[in-house]
Structure 1
């Protein structure tokens, strides 16, 4: 009789474990860089040496923009992104500009660009290409991810963003 109850107990524990795994896989989206997926976390250095992680902005709407100093559309949209950062930060919308440092002609190119074009939004640097492994460039630069308060990518835009396009994507999350 004890063996029977022990067997039933083992089966129930196994079912609970399998059920938990299935529930977790069904209830939380996979990690990835496509719309509807959980955005991969990152931890990248700023100019001042302090790191920023995506997880630093939990429960906020985050716009992650990938750029390089040689990219003309990136240069044109830079002020638009910085304006959005300034205009919406108090409402829980944060813009993070990720310099794709491994695509720069030299390490100093991005820094020289930032000296000539200062911005208030956080700038981080993918110095070793690990960020690019998680957020691969598709169709070139710029590339922008819109990540909701739960860390889910709600939109991906490839190419230059205008003020109107940016506002259109932000407004539903205010």
Structure 2
């Protein structure tokens, strides 16, 4: 009887270990590197309503980190908005995250948006929690390309152009 119990315990242990290994091998790790599962977030938009990455589940997301003092961010803003308008109906969403904790004054971002209205969703990292998960260590702007499964498929540090965006989106639209 002890042999059967020992064999059963070993069998159950093998199943549990196999399941853990399978899940770790088949699910990419969460992180902000290419090939990793994009970390989730929930941030307020311009109206104070919370928006999260999961709101775009099943869609391709172009996630752009910006600040109103950042010259390349300002130059690429109209391009990002145009891409959003062009491809939103194809399941591509451009979401611009203002790195509010880097602004000289929190209201600078709102003043910038008042002077430069856009249709793409804008959210605000007011407390820096988003920056903890998506650190702009290599500078701003930074743009993440997140596929329909939530995997980061490309990252651009620095200003994006219309041509760069089109090239990166073509395989997904």
Fold conserved between structures, TM > 0.5: yes
Q: Distance in 2 between matches of 1:152 and 1:69?
A: 28
Give yes or no for the alignment of 1:23 onto 2:22: yes
SS of the residue aligned with 1:24? helix
Q: Report the Cα offset of residue 54 of structure 1.
A: 0.6
Counterpart check, 1:36 vs 2:61: no
Structure 1 residue 66 and structure 2 residue 70: aligned? no
Q: Secondary structure at 1:7's aligned position in 2? A: helix
Cα-to-partner distance string for 1:58-104 (whole Å, 9 max, x where unaligned): 11100000000000100000000000100000000001000000000
Q: Distance in 2 between matches of 1:95 and 1:73?
A: 17
2:60 pairs with 1:47: no
| Deviation (angstroms), 1:139 | 2.1
- 2:154 aligned with 1:148, yes or no? no
> 5 Å matches for 1:1-174?
1=1, 3-174=2-173
Aligned residues: 173
User: Could you list the runs of 5+ residues in structure 1 that have no partner in the other structure?
Assistant: none
- How far residue 7 of structure 1 moved from its aligned partner, in angstroms, is 1.7
CA distance in 1, matches of 2:49, 2:112: 20
Q: Alignment partner of 1:83: what SS?
A: helix
3-state SS in 1 of match to 2:61? strand
How much does 1:49 deviate?
Answer: 1.0
Q: CA–CA distance in 1 between the matches of 2:48 and 2:13?
A: 47
Normalising by structure 2, we get a TM-score of 0.98
**Secondary structure, counterpart of 2:150 in structure 1:** coil
Q: Secondary structure at the match of 2:22?
A: helix
CA distance in 1: counterparts of 2:68 and 2:131, whole angstroms:
16
Q: Secondary structure of 1:90's partner?
A: helix
Tell me the secondary structure at the aligned position of residue 94 of structure 1: strand
Shift of 1:138: 2.5
Q: Distance in 1 between matches of 2:8 and 2:102?
A: 57
Moved over 2 A (4+): none
